[in-house]
Structure 1
C-alpha cells in the first residue's frame, strides 16, 4: 500500500489491547512474537476447524485444497490493508496510539474525502453490527456443536431424550459463567478449552486415519456452484479473525514483526491453512458425502474412545462459550451504556440482565437452526466475508482517494477483484445457506 507509516511511541492510549479484557489503561505486558502467534492461532481455530470436512465435501478434494490457500492469501492481504489504515489514522489523531476495527473505519471516513465523511458513523455502526452478529453466531454455533456431540453419547448409552432437551441441559452450565461481568474470573477456562479442543482434534484425526482409506476416485475433485457457495461461507467463517488483528499487533513488543515477510501474521495463517487442509482432506476422504458439520459427529458412538473424544471436544467448545460471549457483550454494552440512562445508573444490574437475555437469544437461535454445517456457512458468507474482505478494501479505496496518484490501475483492478469475490460470496453463500436451512425444516 502507498501508506506504510508506523505508530509513534510515547502517546497516551485511548484504547488498547487491554480492552479485550474489559478495560483501558496502560499496557503492562508487551507480548513476544511467539505469544502473539499463539493468541492468533487460538483465536482462529475453533468450531470452524472441525467443519473442514464439510468444507471439503462442498469444495471437492482439488477445489478446496487449491481455494483454501488462495482465500488465506486474500484474507491476509485485507488484514494488512486494515493495519495500514489503522496506522495512518492513528498518526493523524493526537493523543492516541491504537484504534480497533470500528474506530479505524470511523476515522478513515472522517479523514477521507469530503463526500464520504458524513458516512463515518454509519460505517462504524455497520462494522459493529457485523462483529456483533458474527460473535452472536459463534455463540449459537457453540450450543449446536455441544448438543450434537453430547446427544450422540447420551443416545448410545440408553438415555433417550430429544436433541432440544439435550441442548436445554447445557443452558444452565453455559448461563452461570456468562453472567460474570469480569473477564478475570472467566479467562482461566480458556486454556482448558484450548487443550480440550486440541485433544479432540488430534484424537479424531488418529481415529480417522485408522484402517484403509476409500479410493480417492470415490470422492469429488471439483463440485458445482451451489456447493462451492457453501464451501466459501464455511472457509471464511474458519479464517475470519480480523477483529483480533489490531489488538494483537498493538500489544507486541515489536509490532513491525507482525506483518514482516516471515512475521507472525504470515507464518501463523500459513500454519492454520495447512492444518485446515489436512483436517478437511482426511475428514472428507474418510467419510465422504456423509461427513458432518463437525467431524467428531462421524466417530462411531458405540466405541468408548469415540465417546470420550466427543465429550472432550464438546467440553472444549463449552469452556470457550463464556469467552466468546464476553466479546459479544463488550460490543453491545458500550453503545448501550452511553445511550441508556438506566444502564449508567445501574450498570451491574443492567449488564447482568442483558447477559441473561443474550444467552437465551443465542440458545433460541441454536434451537431454531440446529444444522451445524449450514449455520456455519450462513454466518461465514454473510458477516465474515464482509468483515474480512469487503470493508478492508473499502478502507483502502477511501485512504487512496485522498493521496494523489495512489490509486493506480493495478491497485484498482486488484481491489475490485476482491470486492467482486466478496459480493459473489456474500450473495451466493447467504442465499444457498438460507435455502438449505429452509429445506431442513421440510425434511
Structure 2
C-alpha cells in the first residue's frame, strides 16, 4: 500500500498533527478536496494494484469485473458508517475534535447500550491488533515484492544466487532508514516511491498491451468457489485504506465535502476501482493462468526495458517500506511505552531496539511465506475484511441500538448481509490462503 496515517488518542487536530510529524513540527495546512483525494489515492494504491492480474485470475474476467465495483460500494458504505460513528462520539466528548479508528470503536461501545459497554477496551485492542497485523503484513509483502523482482534481474545478468540471499541483501538498506524515529526524516522518500510505482505500473501495462491480445474465450469468465475466496482476499487487501479515512477527513478545509455525493471519497474510490479493473483485465488477458502475484514478474527478464521496469518498481516499494514501517511502530509504541518501565526511562534506545527486532520479524515472515499472491490474499481475508467491513457494521448496530427506532428492518437486513459477506470472506479466504501456502511450502 501507499502511505497511510494513523492518528491516536482523541486529541485536538493540532496535537495529533504534531504527534504524527514529530516534536517541533509545524501544524500542517488544511487540505483542499484535490489534495485530500491525492492522499487517499496514494494511501490506497500500492502492492495490491500490481496484484490485480492475479486477482482477476482468481475471480474470472466477468466475475472480477462485476464484483470489484460491488466490493467498492460496500467498502465506501462501511467507511461512511465509521465516519458517522466518529462524528457521533466526538460530539458527545467535550474538548475533543477528532477520534481515530481505535478511539472511535472504543468510544462507540463505551457510549452504547449498557450490555456492550464492558466490551469497549476489548474492541479497541482487537482493532489495534488487526491494524498492527495488517501493517506488519504490508511490510513483509514489501520484502517479497522487492526480492522477487530483483532476483529475476540478477539471474538474467548472470548473478546466480538464491531468493533468500537476495532478500538478505535488501535487509540492511531497509533496516537503516527504519531505525529513524522521526517521520520528517523519512517522508521525503515517499514522493520518490510514488513516482517509481506509477512509472512501474504504466510501463508494465504499456509492455503488456504490445501485440495482439489473446481472445477472452481463452480465459475463465467465472471461477469456482476456491478461487473466488482468494479473489475476495486480494480485492479487500487492495481496497484496505479504512484507517486513513478519519485522519484525512479531519484535516480537510471543508470536511463535509469528503462524503458528499460527488465528494472526495466517492469520486476517488470510483477512479481507483476503474484503475484496478483496467490493470486486472490487461494483466489476466495478457498472461492468463501464468500471471504472477505482481504483474511485473511476468515481464520478459531478457528484455532490458523490462529489467529497468522491475528495478524501478522494486525501488518504489523499497522506498515505501520505511513509511509503512513507521506506521507499524506508531501502532505498537504507545501501549508498549505505557506498560514498560524501560521504555519510559530510555524511550529512544528502546524504540530503536524495537524497530530493529520488528524489521527482522517482517524479514523472517517474508522468508517463510515467499508467495506474494497468497500472502496478499491471507492478509486481505483475515484482517482487511474485518477492518473494512465487519467492525464498521458492528459500530452501526451499537449506535442505532441507542436511538429509538434507529434499527429499521431495511438497516438490519443490509447490515446482516454485509456481516454474512464479511464472515464468509474471512473464513473461506483465510482457510484457502493457508491451504495454498502450505502446499507451496511442502512443494
TM-score range, shorter chain: over 0.9
Describe the SS at the equivalent of 1:16.
helix
Determine if contact 1:15/1:99 at 8 Å carries over to the other structure.
no
| 1:299 counterpart residue number | 299
Matches within 5 A, 1:231-270: 231-270=231-270
2:4: which partner in 1? none
Q: After superposition, where does 1:208-357 map in structure 2 within 5 Å?
A: 208-357=208-357
Aligned to 1:92: 92
How many Å separate the matches in 2 of 1:245 and 1:310? 31
Report 1:352-391 matches (<5 A): 352-391=352-391
Which runs of 5 or more structure 1 residues have no equivalent in the other structure?
A: 1-10
Contact 2:186–2:322 (CA<8 Å) still a contact in 1?
yes
SS at match of 2:318: helix
Q: Following TM superposition, by how much is the alpha carbon of 1:25 offset from its aligned partner in structure 2, in angstroms? A: 8.8
Stretches of structure 2 lacking an aligned partner (at least 5 in a row): 1-10
Query: Is the CA contact 2:134–2:383 (under 8 Å) kept in the aligned structure 1?
Result: yes
- Which whole-Å CA distance do the structure 1 matches of 2:134 and 2:339 have between them? 23
Q: Distance in 1 between matches of 2:380 and 2:290?
A: 22
Answer whether contact 1:17 1:250 (CA < 8 A) is retained. no
Q: In the alignment, is the contact (CA less than 8 A) between 1:15 and 1:100 conserved in 2?
A: no
TM-score (normalizing by structure 1) = 0.96
**Equivalents in 1 of 2:77, 2:26: separation in Å?**
30
Q: For this pair of structures, how many residues does the alignment match?
A: 433
Is contact 1:233–1:378 with CA below 8 Å preserved after alignment?
yes
CA distances 1:196-239 after superposition (whole Å, capped 9, x unpaired)? 00000000000000000011100000000000000000000000
- For normalisation by structure 2, the TM-score amounts to 0.96
Report the equivalent of 2:193. Answer: 193
SS in 2 for 1:155: helix
* Aligned CA distance change for structure 1 residues 14 and 32 (closer, same or farther; 3 Å): closer
SS in structure 2 at match of 1:271:
helix
Corresponding residue of 1:74: 74
Residue 415 of structure 1 corresponds to which residue in structure 2?
A: 415
> CA distance change for structure 1 residues 423 and 437 in 2, over 3 Å: closer, same or farther?
same
Cα deviation code 1:120-149 (max 9, x no counterpart)? 000000000000000000000000000000
How far, CA to CA, are the matches of 1:83 and 1:20 in structure 2? 20
| 1:260 counterpart SS class | coil
Deviation track 1:296-348 (CA, whole Å, cap 9, x = no partner) reads 00000000000000000000000000000000000000100011110000000
Q: Deviations over 1:48-94 (max 9, x none)?
A: 00000000000000000000000000000000000000000000000
**4+ residue stretches of structure 1 with deviation over 6 A?**
23-26
Asked whether 1:106 is paired with 2:106, we answer yes
Quote the Cα distance in structure 1 between the aligned partners of 2:324 and 2:13. Answer: 25
State the 1:21 CA deviation.
Answer: 3.0
Match of 1:6 in 2: none
* Structure 1 position 22, deviation (Å): 4.8
C-alpha change, 1:251 and 1:309, in structure 2 (3 Å) is same
Indicate the residue corresponding to 1:130 in structure 2: 130
1:427-442 matches, cutoff 5 A: 427-442=427-442
CA distance in 1, matches of 2:354, 2:223: 44
- SS, match of residue 407 in structure 1: coil
User: What is the distance in 2 between the residues matched to 1:292 and 1:366?
Assistant: 17
